[in-house]
Amino acid sequence: MKTLFLTVVTVLLTVTTFGQGQTAREQTILNVFGRLNLALDPYKNLHYWTDGDIFYRPFFFDVKKLDVKPLANGDTIFFYGGTLHEGGYEIKVLLAPDGKMTIADDDWQFKKGDRVEYHTVGDETILLFSDARGAVTNVLKKFDGDLYNRTINDFYRYIFAGSFKRMGGSSETIRFDRNKSSVSGLLSKGEASFTLIDDFGDTPSSVLCFSDDVVYKAIRTLIGMELIPIMTGPDIDLEWLIEKDPAKPVITLVKTAEEEWDLPPERFPLVSKQVMTLCELDLYAGEPKLQNLKIMRNEIFARYGYKFKTADMAGYFGAQDWYVPQFDDVTSKLTEIERINIALIQILEKK
C-alpha cells in the first residue's frame, strides 16, 4: 500500500530568466513543465501527466527532502503523483545538457536508463518511454489535471459508447452516449440517466446505478457488453460490496455500430486513431482479456489486408465483412500511432 500522497509544501525557488532563444535543455523544461517561460511561478501552469490511472506533476526538487534547486539548474525532474485513492508515486528523470531525458532509478513501471521523450503524435501530447533498444515501454499523456472526470470519460469512451442490440431480446436499438451518462432503449424506449458508483468512495467504476434497485456492472466483451445485475438493499454499501444478484438475468448486448462517431466497423478502431496508455488499452480490451488483446493487436494488421498464417486469426478475421486478405507483410504501412499501440498491447499480453 503506497503512502498517502504528500501535500506539497510551499517553497520559494530561485528562478533564472532566459532570453528569447532557448537551448535544447531549456526547451525540454518548458515542454515537460508546461511553462510559457522559465520565469513563471514554479507552481503555476504545470502540465499534468497520466497513464489513465496514476497522475503526475513535475518538480525540480525532491518534495520529501525539500531539496530546493533553481528551476533552470536542476539535473533531476521529479514526477510526483498518485491515483484517486492513494499517493506516493514517483518517477525520477535525469535531464542532460542536450535536453535528453532518462530514468534515474528503477521503479515498478520504469527501468533505470530507459529514455523519455516529449512527443506529439496526432492530437496527443505524450511522454514516450523506451528501452535501450528503442522498444516502447510506456506512455504518459498530458491532461488537464481532472483525473476523476477523465476516468469517467474513459468508461464512456472505451466500454459504453456505441449502438447495441439485446441478445435474445427485442430488436430495439440500445445506444450509449459517448459524452455523458445516459442510454436510450435499455430500460425503456426513451433515454435513461445513470451514475457511476465509486470504488472506495473516490474512484469511478463501471457500475451503473439507474435507481436504488436498478444497478448493473458493465463489462466490455468481444461482441459488445455484458450488464451484470448487482445486489442492492438498505444494508449494502455499493462502494465496498459489488456482488451479482442471482435473482436477475445478465443482459448481453451485441455491438452494432458507432457510425454516429465516424468510426469504422472493426471491433477496436481507436487503436489506429490515437495513442493509448496501458490503462486505456486494458480497459478497452474488456474480457476475456488475453484473447481480446490478441485480436486488438492483429486487427491493426488486418485493416491493411495482412494474410494471417495462424488458423485462429485467419478464421476470426475471415468472418469479418470488412477484411480483405492481400499482403504477406504490411509493417511498412503502419502509422506511428499503430506502432506505439502494438508495442504497448504486447506488454499487456506478456503480463
In this structure, is residue 103 part of a structural domain?
yes
In this structure, is residue 6 part of a structural domain?
no
In this structure, is residue 14 part of a structural domain?
no
pLDDT surpassing 70 at residue 19: no
In this structure, is residue 7 part of a structural domain?
no
pLDDT digits (tens, 9 = 90+) for 250-277: 999 998 876 555 666 788 999 999 999 9
Sign of the four-CA dihedral 304, 307, 309, 314: positive
- pLDDT for 26 equals 82
For residues 204 and 134, membership in a common domain is answered with: no
pLDDT over 70 for what percent of the chain? Answer: 85
- pLDDT for 51 equals 95
For residues 252 and 141, membership in a common domain is answered with: no
Give the residue numbers spanning the domain of 331: 269-350
Higher pLDDT, 235 or 181: 181
Q: Band of the pLDDT at 240, cuts 50, 70, 90?
A: confident
In this structure, is residue 113 part of a structural domain?
yes
Higher pLDDT, 200 or 331: 331
In this structure, is residue 125 part of a structural domain?
yes
- pLDDT for 13 equals 30
In this structure, is residue 236 part of a structural domain?
yes
Domain ends where: 105, 122, 145?
145
User: Rounded to whole angstroms, how far apart are CA atoms 157 and 270?
Assistant: 10
For residues 121 and 31, membership in a common domain is answered with: yes
Q: Evaluate whether 97 touches 25 at the Cβ level (below 8 Å).
A: yes
Higher pLDDT, 339 or 17: 339
pLDDT surpassing 70 at residue 121: yes
Residue with cell 514516450: 128
State the chain's mean pLDDT as an integer.
85
In this structure, is residue 15 part of a structural domain?
no
Amino acid at 63: V
* H/E run at residue 300: helix 289-303
Residue 157: Cβ-neighbour burial (10 angstroms; 0-12, 13-18, 19+): middle
316: domain CATH number? 1.20.58.1690
Mean pLDDT of 291-317: 96
Number of domains composing the chain:
3
- pLDDT for 201 equals 81
Mean pLDDT of 197-226: 92
For residues 139 and 181, membership in a common domain is answered with: no
Calculate Rg over the CA atoms of the chain.
23
pLDDT surpassing 60 at residue 280: yes
For residues 158 and 256, membership in a common domain is answered with: yes
- pLDDT for 62 equals 66
For residues 64 and 89, membership in a common domain is answered with: yes
pLDDT surpassing 90 at residue 230: yes
pLDDT surpassing 80 at residue 110: yes
- Of 127, 100, 126, which is closest to residue 113 (Cα–Cα)? 100
Among the listed ranges 45-59, 67-81, 282-296, which one has the minimum average pLDDT value?
A: 67-81
